[in-house]
Amino acid sequence: MTSKKPAASKRTTLPRQSSYTKRFLQDWSALSHPGRYDMTLLIANDGPLPAQWRDHQLSGKWERHRECHLGGDFLLVYLLDDSGKCPSLVISSCGTHADIFG
């Protein structure tokens, strides 16, 4: 049995390359609760985030970044960078609004 789709359309896209800022690595222990790692995998694979995480674009000095709420006032700030050969996810920071935005 043969498929009529061209070979290129049968291939899956590669997941984004992930990197972390120094600030995020310092916040890692606060992010290591169950379910939070799954959320970073969804972002890295361009999956839709559930509405309860209130994912949205930021403005001002953070204009290229996005933010999602992991629970209450606990946030994850990240950047989806499509400028290079391999699209990447840069997780910039996590913490409360006061911790991140001052």
**For position 53, what pLDDT does the model report?**
84
Which class would CATH give 26-101?
alpha beta
**Residue (of 61, 52, 101, 97) closest to 79 by Cα position:** 61
- The domains of the chain are located at 26-101
Residue at 80: amino acid letter: L
**For position 64, what pLDDT does the model report?**
93
Q: Give CA–CA dist 3/9, Å, rounded.
A: 11
**For position 59, what pLDDT does the model report?**
94
**For position 6, what pLDDT does the model report?**
63
Say whether 33 is catalytic.
no
Global pTM value: 0.64
What lies within 8 Å, CB to CB, of 88 at 6+ separation is 16, 17, 18, 19, 80, 81
72: left (phi over 0), alpha (psi -120 to 50) or beta: left
Mean pLDDT by 10 residues, the chain (102 residues): 60 72 73 62 79 91 92 87 83 88 86
Catalytic residue among 33, 65, 69, 97: 97
